[in-house]
Structure 1
């Protein structure tokens, strides 16, 4: 099938609608999301009607068909509010959905991508384990052949959207790594399959409304048609490519949240007074705002460049890691400065920058920690230089 491109005019309309939805419908209800630890059903329905559950799924399969350069512009808008909103449909468009888009058979895509695009199916990316996080080569979940079927056993941890998932994209080892590959396959496992046990919702530092939990697979039997791409050796490559793409998205999300923290800081500094003088008139406060603005501008430029390189197939390894590393570290610094600018008020619950400060800490951990990104960047630069010298 051919992939239909979204025109600039159409995309600008999608972007404008998303921005309006975020600023007018979601931002006023952030405290409700925080207090109840859930995104209200009516906001979920609006997101479904807008096509947000499938914005990065190709139009051939019922989605909006945005490429990564467009994806990051949308992500910067979504990052402006509670990160639970984006998390609600993030796995459909990102790390879970892209495995199917990139590696699924036509039959698998036909069965699952359209209901994912409409939001009728929530897909969850089941890779992380107690002993295998940023480096999936260490995973222990096993899949063993039983005639034409596969039997899956293992435990997954911190799985986003697991409590509401209809489908798990499950990575499992079918054999030890060898010369043929990593021995990691990926399977389509319906959440209601016998032996799938979803644990209690995790209690996290932040990101209220974005649910994660453990998932156990106890002798879960799936047919041969559940093996994504029909190959045992697709799993590791599918995970790496999906995660790399996701890193650019997370970087963009970080820029959106940093912009919100900056806007909150400027608004507070312009109105809050100390000794009768607006604190924004003080040079040290202005310096903090200047550092925030510089980080936001640098992050936005880096994200856009990394997305362009991905779309043009120029760099799908170093640039995603560099963008993710810089932007997730940057938003942490911007959030910290936002709390500092707010003073004691910034430490109080139900103040926006306090929530942001907690929410963004996770961004440095998932889709590969900052340390993993540094290893990817450094190792690949050195390997490139070594190849050029041989």
Structure 2
């Protein structure tokens, strides 16, 4: 590469076409006309030394060298490393702010090391992030917060679902459904407390009569929708199940279970409809109990305790122990103050179009205390 070097030195004041002031200057330039590459002179070279100079009546005066470039110019940035920071293998760490004093220099944020080849010039080696990780840079802070929020919501939803499923499973395995308030301790033991005996006929009955709890006859948990009964109620309503009768506890339990399935699945009710049932074995069976509204006689469910005789009694009467069980159940309701002392005893056929509890049983109930021909 051929070079043309010219040195122009002036110790006099020269006039320029576009300036009115006098200028004293010393300029140096070096250029290449072949490849048009200009190399700046080393800043360490000797600076020109001027003697005593006196300037009067002048402005905009420059002392020292000036470099003039003619034609297109390509400027290369050359970094000089400090040899004290060199590694043993000839590599020198470069600070990312190195040469930041040059306003035209933009440091590469991915530059990690430079190679020193023994001269003053330093070759910079770039180390950039792999392409596989660059997609992370495209995520803004809002995207990260959104993804984090969605993950938290999903986690909380899963935890809530697990808790609900566990509670539902526990409720299904519980003998006493949570929707039903406790009637009394007899729900757990199945044996009612002692009640005063009002006749010789019931003296034997008091020691044998039992209220079979829902847990004992394996009742299914009720569906949502069962309401709490407002007590005391003014009515006791007698009806029958219009099914086969039963005479043993084992058979009566199965009959009560069948009635619940028919009401809940066949008719779509929340639970078995009756408050209580009485069987031919002389026991009472808890349906919806003392404190929940039944599904027995439309228009009177929220104001009555319903007692259903297991069987159909159009031509024949229930056995005596089944009749006594119903009367004993009414007496317990009075003692618990669930049934009003001035209650009215009615049958289903008096309140709706039905033959329940059957002609034979209806005629007998009309002879009981508190029976009323009208509600």
Q: Which interval holds the TM-score relative to the shorter structure?
A: under 0.3
Q: TM-score, normalised by structure 2?
A: 0.20
Q: TM-score, normalised by structure 1?
A: 0.20
Report the structure, 1 or 2, having the larger helix content: 1
